[in-house]
Structure 1
Amino acid sequence: MKRWDKMSKAFTRVGKEIAMAVKAGGPNPDSNPSLRRAIQNGRAVNMPKDKVESAIKKASGQGAAAYEEIVYEGYGPHGVAILVVTATDNPTRTVSNVRVAFNRNGGNMGSSGSVAFQFTKMGVFRLKPEGLDPEALELDLIDFGLEDFGEATGDEGEPQLVVRCAFESFGAMSKALEERGITPISSGSAFVPATLIELDEAAATEVLELVDKLEQDDDVQEVFYNLG
């Protein structure tokens, strides 16, 4: 059941990403790089093609929901800094839900700028390692704003390469990968903490319970925090 809940949440997140991309740049992925990226991210979470097409059609129609991205800031238990990225058509509802989640789970919501300075917004690309020479690729991408290159695993434990760049270099990095015939598994932005807070298991669990409550909200796209 938890797996299906996670999949449903992922589809909702990508659906909103598609809606915002269509609203900003139209329904044709050939001329809308943001929509291409959203479709790519849909594939990464195994979103069926018919659901992707339905989301594009729905976002193109009259009366489509107008989502806006809003980032909320706060502190969790034990002083852990948290950024909550939302996509909402009702900011009043969203801010209320986020505040309740903080208050009921040992945290407190902060004002704009109270937490964000502890994070750097970066572009993130996840790649399949098959057929790639990681060392050569890392050197090759330095000229396009590469700041970090490493290994990770996907949701199913599959190996991945992770490319990070300054968010201002996102377009250049995306183009560089495309020119080299590399199609990312997924791509987007992430808020990377400058420093991490190390906590014992019990304290860390308290923080993760708050993160879980935030992530359950349909308006929440992603949650970033500086727990080590």
Structure 2
Amino acid sequence: MSGHSKWHNIQAKKGKTDAKRGKIFTKIGKEIAVAAKMGGSNPDTNGKLRDVIAKAKANNMPLDTVTRAIKKGAGEMEGVNYEEIVYEGYAPGGVAVIVNVLTENKNRSAGNVRHAFSKYGGNMGSTGCVSFMFQNKGQMIVEKDAMDEEELMMLALDAGAEDFEAEDEVYVITTTPEDFGTVRETLENNGVEFLEADLKMVPDTYSSVDEETAVKIQKMLDALEDDDDVQDVFHNAEFPEGFEE
């Protein structure tokens, strides 16, 4: 993955997140409701719910919004039953794309995702067509001025982290999905704040694309991320250095 910066992707995404905070809150609210429905409303006994609440906190989601989403998922307030669906396919240039969806209308979601792929020169594929190129990982992003590098690295690795990387402006901590909650909680208990803390599909290798192809891919990714049913979009594109997402 030469030249690929995780922080470049995160930084660009964060700018969009700031501009679309209400939509982000809605998406995280869905995740909270699903987690509460599956494992109960008590984060002390529901690890998945704890992890999503941490994600909400990293995105500065108001506490009352979090509480309302938990109550909806637990059936204490009227809510919607969401179905989790994963779509896979290819963006221009043969770039692998995974789209995670939470929806109450499967037909609408499938149509919207398919439209985004085809409109921007991609192709929807069958289940499993690209997911074998990715690994499910926990990933935490911490600002460099949050803690001394060696101290944070030792804290993360001792807690069970798989990897620790120093990017230009941030530290990137990677874990297995099983250890994500433990590592995150250990760091939180030591006063570490996250720019991002979430489970992700991390590609094994990245696919380099030129500027023209990068523009097409970015339009497709934007269209997918703008869809209210789409929770996450993962890809293995390595954009040209200096490309503005």
Length-normalised TM-score, structure 1: 0.84
| Residue 131 of structure 2 corresponds to residue 107 of structure 1 | no
| Residue 45 of structure 2 corresponds to residue 31 of structure 1 | yes
Decide whether aligned partners of structure 1 residues 30 and 166 sit closer, same or farther in structure 2, where only a CA change above 3 A counts: closer
**Consecutive aligned runs of 4 or more in structure 1 exceeding 6 Å deviation:** none
For structure 1, the residue ranges without an aligned partner over 5 or more in a row are 154-158
Amino acid at match of 1:146: A
Amino acid at match of 2:151: A
- Map residues 142-221 of structure 1 onto 2, 5 A cutoff: 142-151=157-166, 160-178=170-188, 180-182=190-192, 184-221=194-231
Decide whether aligned partners of structure 1 residues 149 and 53 sit closer, same or farther in structure 2, where only a CA change above 3 A counts: same
Decide whether aligned partners of structure 1 residues 203 and 186 sit closer, same or farther in structure 2, where only a CA change above 3 A counts: closer
Amino acid at match of 1:30: D
Query: Over the residues paired in the alignment, what is the CA RMSD in angstroms?
Result: 2.5
The Cα of 1:211 is off from its aligned counterpart by: 0.6
Paired residue secondary structure (2:43):
coil
Partners of 1:40 and 1:185 within 8 A in 2:
no
Query: Which of residues 65, 69, 73 in structure 2 aligns to 1:59?
Result: 73
Paired residue secondary structure (2:175):
strand
Partners of 2:164 and 2:173 within 8 A in 1:
yes
Residue deviations 1:29-88 (CA, integer Å, cap 9, x gap): 333332232222222222222222222222233653222322210001111111111112
- Map residues 74-93 of structure 1 onto 2, 5 A cutoff: 74-93=89-108
Paired residue secondary structure (1:120):
strand
| In 2, Cα distance between equivalents of 1:217 and 1:150 | 32
Partners of 1:58 and 1:64 within 8 A in 2:
yes
1:156 maps to what in 2?
A: none
Q: How many equivalent residue pairs?
A: 222
Amino acid at match of 2:93: H
Amino acid at match of 2:211: E
Percent identical: 44
